[in-house]
């Protein structure tokens, strides 16, 4: 049995999402069609939109469904970044790295200093600032409220990549002043293939893909109804934050005892995520050893070939060569206490073997 | 047992993975990504381009084994490609496949395999590892046409103990392909890798020019008495014994010496060859000591009977009959099919 601790890659499907998808799959019709079947499909789509809007503190009209967060981020940059300089945090995801963007350096704990943003905004007033609510590798949270205030002062727009935060530590980012934020269904127990860009009232979005004018002309293409129904159902599910946090804290304490270093340890973080640097042991070696022990974790950013590269997030935090010696443990919504014991035993065995290997005796 | 298999995506290493899985071992396939494989750099006949990684993954899927891609780009660039260019700039004729085996496959990858808990590592090389009274011995492959032992001389005794080379016992590549087909591997008919994997279309001048432009700067071609016979367009284009690319005034002559400092290529008549050859960085697969063996001075070379004397970390090779020796190439010592050791020609 695999112990799955890679929730930030994708969360296990919520049973409620599965049920909603099965029902949607049996709903015949295209939401754009005029006839009764079309109306039934449309009703399902709009019900999902209302559910998502309620959870996101937005109006239904401000939810733009799309394929996922990569598309939602691209749409935000396309629509909001036009004619504006773009400022992005140094630890942002690859889907928020437009060419020519100004990179905002982060502090060693992964957070963005208010002064750094203010100085950049003084140079680039009226910019589009892109910041993630929670980092995918370290779980470190950005102070979106403070950033939004700075943006407002300088006439800048703020887009929040909220992919890892929605469902785990949701905030009312629009009320804080964000112009938009992105979410992806499969990061909170929905299916892959559906996400959304949520925009603040009055924010105009010009489509990347015009197609047949769906989503009020902001995203063409027939919406994937089963995936959207699953996304909406997953969003309403409870998240046992305290239980997950206590599992993570126990894992952290154990691994620190074996020599692990935790980037961003002092910053506010997601309850389910911990990045563990094991100095001297390559990330690949750790990942393979744990995989052989039946434990799924991740490291760095895996490209499509599956090759692991050193983590650009940790590099941006100043970890140097240690950036290639870290794994990420991200606990799923349904983690059990038993996972802590299983993981820590495998981690201890891995550390013991790696340290007695001749390659490390020198 | 848990056994790591170095998988390039080619037919040989795919069959090795299949053989190990068939024997009931827990197989962990590893592919080293040696360079960036954007579509523009991918080419036929090179190992570990993007298609090869995809092929390795599909073979692993077919066999039902684990498979990982390990980033070795920086290491490959430093230990193999840039060392290759440096050697040319120093007037040598390097063998990058030896450096890759030594530093990446039997170095980093083998260390990693130990670290993640493998008990052995198998590769698709055509050599044999036979158990002898003193431990594992390295022998030539049964198929003499495929034998790669010369390229593996730098494998240490400890590494050899950890390694397995199941293809060394096969009589021909045809047999290996037949096994691949029988296992249902899509790579059964894939063409063999050729030459130097990172050198497109067999021309290494561009690579050397990129890393060491000084090695591609023009200079004089001179006779052994110092007379200038013409010009050349970079010492990296020459190797000891070469007759091609010499000016007309040096017709019928061969390169005798390459002088990186003065960028001179010294030419002379064919035939004068050396008997005493000095070696550096000798790897011993027997107890170091004076011995008689047959030495192979190039990848495709006949055997030269010789006496070998250890000399610090190197050795002095005295050939019974003079032969051509190019600095940077390997001199490998054979006794029958067994490899006793070898070193790099100075």
Q: Has residue B335 got a pLDDT over 70?
A: yes
Domain residue extents for chain B = 2-201, 217-269, 274-345
* Residues B36/A303, Cβ–Cβ less than 8 Å: no
Helix (H) or strand (E) holding A285: helix A283-292
Put simply, the answer to whether B70 touches A289 (Cβ < 8 Å) is no
Distance in angstroms (rounded) separating the CA atoms of residues A96 and A112: 16
Class of domain B217-269 as given by CATH:
mainly beta
Find residue A196's DSSP bridge partners.
A65, A183
Q: Is B35 on the interface with A (CB under 8 A)?
A: no
Q: How is residue A307 written in tokens? A: 């090759």
Q: Has residue B46 got a pLDDT over 80?
A: no
Put simply, the answer to whether B115 touches A353 (Cβ < 8 Å) is yes
Contacts of B200 (CB under 8 A, 6+ apart): B41, B43, B46, B206
When CB atoms are compared, the residue of A285, A291, A306 closest to B115 is: A285
Q: How is residue A143 written in tokens? A: 């102070």
Q: What is the pLDDT of residue A355?
A: 77
Contacts of B331 (CB under 8 A, 6+ apart): B277, B279, B295, B296, B297, B317, B325, B342, B343, B344, B345
Q: How is residue A155 written in tokens? A: 């006439």
Residue A139, min C-alpha distance to chain B (Å): 25
Put simply, the answer to whether A282 touches B28 (Cβ < 8 Å) is no
User: Residues B109-119: what's their mean pLDDT?
Assistant: 95
Distance in angstroms (rounded) separating the CA atoms of residues B327 and B343: 11
Domains and CATH numbers, chain A: 3-10+240-360 (3.90.1150.10), 15-235 (3.40.640.10)
Q: Which of B3, B71, B103, B104 to mutate to test the interface with A (most CBs of A within 10 A)?
A: B71
Burial of B34 (0-12, 13-18, 19+ CB in 10 A): buried
pTM: 0.88
ipTM of the complex: 0.83
Q: What is the CATH number of domain B2-201?
A: 3.40.50.620
The 10s digit of each residue's pLDDT in A317-351 is 999 999 999 999 999 999 999 999 999 999 999 99
Confidence band (pLDDT; 50, 70, 90) for B41? very low
Instruction: Put the strands of the sheet holding A102-104 in their side by side order.
Output: A63-66, A195-199, A180-184, A157-161, A128-132, A86-89, A102-104
Put simply, the answer to whether B111 touches A357 (Cβ < 8 Å) is yes
Q: What is the pLDDT of residue B71?
A: 86
Q: What is the pLDDT of residue A304?
A: 55
Q: What is the pLDDT of residue B67?
A: 96
Residue B85, min C-alpha distance to chain A (Å): 26
Contacts of B276 (CB under 8 A, 6+ apart): B316, B317, B318, B319
Q: Has residue A177 got a pLDDT over 90?
A: yes
The 10s digit of each residue's pLDDT in B121-140 is 999 999 999 999 999 999 99
Put simply, the answer to whether B33 touches A291 (Cβ < 8 Å) is no
Residue A354, min C-alpha distance to chain B (Å): 5
Q: What is the pLDDT of residue B271?
A: 72
User: Residues A95-114: what's their mean pLDDT?
Assistant: 94
* Residues A36/A220, Cβ–Cβ less than 8 Å: no
Q: How is residue B127 written in tokens? A: 């050599």
Active site positions of B, annotated:
100, 197
Which chain A residue's Cα is nearest to B109?
A: A285
Which chain A residue's Cα is nearest to B158?
A: A358
The 10s digit of each residue's pLDDT in A47-74 is 999 999 999 999 999 999 999 999 999 9
Per DSSP, the three-state class of B16 is: helix
Provide Rg for chain A, Cα atoms.
Answer: 21
User: Residues B239-262: what's their mean pLDDT?
Assistant: 92
Number of H helices, E strands in chain B: 9, 17
Q: Which of A284, A321, A356 to mutate to test the interface with B (most CBs of B within 10 A)?
A: A284
Which chain A residue's Cα is nearest to B58?
A: A305
Q: What percent of chain B has pLDDT over 90?
A: 82
Strands (E), B44-195: 66-71, 120-122, 127-132, 135-140, 163-164
Distance in angstroms (rounded) separating the CA atoms of residues B340 and B294: 10
Q: Which of B115, B117, B157 to mutate to test the interface with A (most CBs of A within 10 A)?
A: B115
Q: Is B66 on the interface with A (CB under 8 A)?
A: yes
Put simply, the answer to whether A307 touches B54 (Cβ < 8 Å) is no
Q: What is the CATH number of domain B274-345?
A: 2.40.30.10
Number of A:B CB contacts under 8 A? 62
When CB atoms are compared, the residue of A285, A291, A305 closest to B112 is: A285
Confidence band (pLDDT; 50, 70, 90) for B37? low
Distance in angstroms (rounded) separating the CA atoms of residues B186 and B175: 16
Q: What is the pLDDT of residue A358?
A: 60
User: In the annotation, is A303 catalytic?
Assistant: yes
Put simply, the answer to whether A285 touches B37 (Cβ < 8 Å) is no
Longest dimension (CA), chain B: 68
Confidence band (pLDDT; 50, 70, 90) for B199? confident
The 10s digit of each residue's pLDDT in A296-320 is 999 866 555 566 677 889 999 999 9
Of A133, A188, A195, A185, the C-alpha closest to A158 is A133
Of A324, A328, A321, A330, the C-alpha closest to A272 is A330
């Amino acid at each position: 049995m695999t112990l799955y601790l890679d929730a930030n890659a994708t969360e296990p499907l919520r049973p409620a999402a599965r049920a909603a998808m099965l029902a949607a799959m049996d709903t015949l019709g295209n939401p754009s069609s005029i006839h009764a079947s079309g109306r039934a499909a449309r009703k399902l789509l709009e019900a999902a939109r209302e559910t998502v809007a309620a959870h996101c503190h937005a109006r239904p009209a401000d939810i733009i469904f799309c394929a996922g967060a990569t598309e939602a981020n691209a749409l935000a940059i396309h629509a909001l970044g036009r004619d504006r300089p773009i400022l992005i945090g140094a630890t942002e995801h690859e889907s928020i790295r437009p060419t020519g963007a100004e990179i905002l350096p982060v502090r060693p704990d992964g957070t963005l200093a208010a002064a750094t943003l203010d100085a950049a905004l003084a140079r680039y007033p009226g910019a589009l600032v892109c910041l993630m609510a929670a980092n995918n590798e370290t779980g470190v949270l950005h102070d979106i409220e403070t950033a939004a205030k700075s943006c407002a002062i300088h006439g800048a727009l703020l887009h929040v990549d909220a992919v890892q935060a929605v469902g785990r530590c949701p905030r009312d980012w629009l009320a804080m002043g964000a112009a938009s934020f992105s979410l992806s269904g499969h990061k909170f127990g929905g299916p892959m293939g559906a996400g959304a860009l949520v925009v603040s009232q009055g924010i105009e979005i010009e489509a990347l893909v015009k197609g047949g004018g769906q989503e009020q002309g902001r995203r063409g293409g027939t919406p994937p109804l089963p995936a959207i129904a699953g996304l909406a159902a997953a969003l309403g599910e409870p998240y046992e934050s305290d239980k997950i946090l206590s599992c993570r804290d126990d894992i952290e304490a154990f691994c620190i005892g074996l020599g692990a270093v935790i980037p961003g340890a002092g910053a506010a973080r997601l309850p389910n995520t911990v990045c563990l640097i094991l100095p001297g042991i390559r990330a690949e070696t750790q990942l393979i050893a744990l995989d052989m022990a039946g434990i799924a974790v991740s490291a760095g950013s895996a490209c499509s070939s599956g090759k692991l590269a050193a983590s650009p997030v940790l590099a941006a935090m100043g970890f140097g060569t240690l950036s290639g010696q870290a794994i990420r443990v991200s606990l799923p919504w349904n983690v059990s206490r038993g996972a802590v014991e299983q993981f820590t035993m495998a981690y201890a065995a891995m550390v013991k073997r790696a340290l007695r290997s001749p390659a490390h005796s020198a | 047992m848990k056994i790591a298999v170095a998988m390039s995506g080619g037919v040989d290493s795919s069959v090795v993975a299949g053989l190990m899985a068939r024997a009931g071992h827990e197989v962990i396939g590893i592919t080293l990504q040696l360079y960036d494989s954007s579509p523009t750099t991918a080419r036929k006949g090179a190992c570990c381009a993007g298609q090869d990684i995809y092929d390795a993954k599909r073979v692993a899927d077919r066999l039902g084994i684990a498979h990982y891609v390990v980033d070795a780009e920086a290491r490959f660039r430093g230990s193999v490609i840039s060392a290759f260019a440096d050697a040319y700039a120093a007037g040598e004729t390097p063998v990058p496949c030896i450096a890759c085996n030594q530093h990446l496959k039997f170095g980093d990858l083998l260390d990693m395999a130990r670290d993640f808990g493998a008990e052995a590592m198998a590769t698709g090389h055509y050599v044999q590892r036979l158990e002898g009274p003193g431990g594992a011995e390295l022998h030539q492959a049964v198929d003499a046409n495929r034998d790669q032992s010369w390229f593996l001389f730098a494998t240490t005794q400890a590494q050899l103990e950890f390694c397995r080379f199941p293809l060394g016992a096969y009589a021909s590549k045809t047999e290996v392909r037949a096994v691949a087909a029988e296992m249902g591997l899509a790579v059964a008919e894939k063409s063999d890798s050729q030459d130097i994997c990172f050198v497109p279309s067999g021309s290494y001048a561009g690579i050397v020019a990129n890393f060491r432009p000084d090695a591609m700067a023009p200079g004089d071609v001179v006779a052994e008495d110092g007379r200038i016979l013409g010009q050349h367009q970079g010492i990296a284009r020459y190797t000891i014994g070469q007759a091609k690319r010499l000016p007309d005034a040096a017709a019928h002559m061969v390169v005798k010496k390459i002088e990186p400092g003065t960028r001179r290529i010294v030419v002379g008549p064919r035939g004068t060859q050396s008997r005493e050859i000095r070696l550096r960085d000798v790897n011993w697969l027997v107890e170091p000591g004076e011995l008689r063996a047959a030495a192979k001075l190039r990848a495709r070379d006949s055997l030269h009977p010789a006496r070998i004397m250890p000399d610090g970390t190197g050795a002095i090779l005295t050939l019974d009959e003079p032969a051509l020796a190019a600095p940077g190439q390997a001199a490998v010592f054979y006794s029958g099919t067994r490899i006793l050791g070898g070193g790099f020609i100075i």
